[in-house]
Amino acid sequence: MAKKNIALISPNQNAYSETFIQAHKNYFDANVFYYYGGYLPYYLENNGVLLTNSNRFIGFLKKKFKLTKLNALEQSLVKSFKKNKIGIVYAEYGPTGVAVLNICKKLNLPLIVNFHGYDASVNSVLENNKTKYKELFDYSKHIVAVSKTMREKLISLGAKPEKITYTPCAPNDVFFDLNPSFSANAFIAVGRFVDKKAPYYTILAFKKILAKYPDAKLYFCGDGPLHDTCVNLTNFFQLSNNILFLGSVSPEELKELYEKVTAFVQHSVTALNGDMEGTPVAILEASAAGLPVVSTNHAGIPDVIIHEKTGLLVNEHDVNKMAEYMLSLLDDKEYAKALGNTGRDFVKLNFSMKQHIEILNQLLYS
């Protein structure tokens, strides 16, 4: 069977927290044309801007004289899709699907939309797209949900169950090759400093274990709007020697950290605006690396972390229980190692990149 030409559309080109989109771009069994730069993309990778000055002017005139209902950027995207003989469109995030829906309809192109988290949970996003999502669900050939909670949410919003495929984004295979030594009394958190990841709760939980392990370390990898708040909180508690903010780290640096820490920690919560996780890739990566995960009963996390078998889960906002579980892993490194080993096996069996991509490739060719 000849490979399809697929338009993979993502708002961001190389967001460090969106490794799952890069995986789709690299592993789809198709000729991938990667469009990016907004929900309605401005760029085609390796081809530059779509909306040139001439395209902008011509597009303006066509719409002004009612030769088309599409704006200039939409017209440019239609032209690009035709030129590259696009056979199917894969939209990352619900609002991206909404933005390209009219184009898909005009060209009679099948559309797959992959929801990831905020796009199926943030109150303002759901309210702004209430009617548009229903139209998107009706037209889409397939809808991808990255957690079981999200699947139920999409159904409640009007998506037909038979159209929805559940598959969390998968960890890179390199993580399965790591061998944690559990040598350091240390924890690691990887992700953006945003409300739904509640990094301040992780700090408060970690602070409690220092009474018994005063030299313990907590490594934060990532950046985001709550970064400075967390640094200030750390300084207030005089914990700057214990809590280290590393920013965006390279894959090699991350692997080195994973091989020495005791566990991965993340206190995800439902933000006040409704924002929720999908299934965090960083949690899957840590579990694939053989680390136990201490996290929360939130969104897709219980789908991939089995309490007291591959990690330890607390209810949202329960800082005391999180601290208790973190302490238990430092007290018993063999227990930590056992959870990590079981977690690695579970992720490899159920959530490998091979399985994830096979599921999506079946959708592309179904």
Domain ranges of the chain: 5-169+352-364, 173-350
Q: Is the pLDDT of residue 289 over 90?
A: yes
Separation of alpha carbons 26 and 98, rounded Å:
24
β-bridge pairing 142-145 and 111-114: parallel
pLDDT recorded at residue 69? 76
pLDDT recorded at residue 17? 57
Burial (CB < 10 A; 0-12, 13-18, 19+), residue 70, is middle
* CA dist 11 → 99, 215, 285 (Å): 11, 42, 23
User: 317: alpha, beta or left, given left = phi > 0 and alpha = psi -120 to 50?
Assistant: left
CA end-to-end span of the chain, whole Å?
A: 12
65: pLDDT confidence band, cut at 50, 70 and 90? low
Q: Is the pLDDT of residue 62 over 80?
A: no
CATH topology match: 5-169+352-364 vs 173-350 = yes
Q: Decide if domain 173-350 falls under CATH 3.20.20.80.
A: no
Residues in Cβ contact with 137 at an 8 Å cutoff, skipping those fewer than 6 apart: 143, 154, 157, 158, 159, 160, 163
Q: Are 266 and 280 in contact (CB under 8 A)?
A: yes
- Eight-state DSSP code of residue 171: P
pLDDT over 70, % of the chain: 94
For 7-11, 18-22, 64-68, 161-165, which range has the lowest pLDDT when averaged over its residues? 64-68
pLDDT recorded at residue 19? 83
pLDDT recorded at residue 304? 98
β-bridge pairing 43-44 and 31-36: antiparallel
Q: Decide if domain 5-169+352-364 falls under CATH 3.40.50.2000.
A: yes
β-bridge pairing 48-49 and 43-44: antiparallel
Task: Determine the average pLDDT of the residues in 75-93.
Answer: 96
For 70-84, 96-110, 237-251, 288-302, which range has the lowest pLDDT when averaged over its residues? 70-84
The amino acid present at 338, given as its one-letter code, is A
Task: Determine the average pLDDT of the residues in 123-140.
Answer: 97
Summary mean pLDDT of the chain: 94
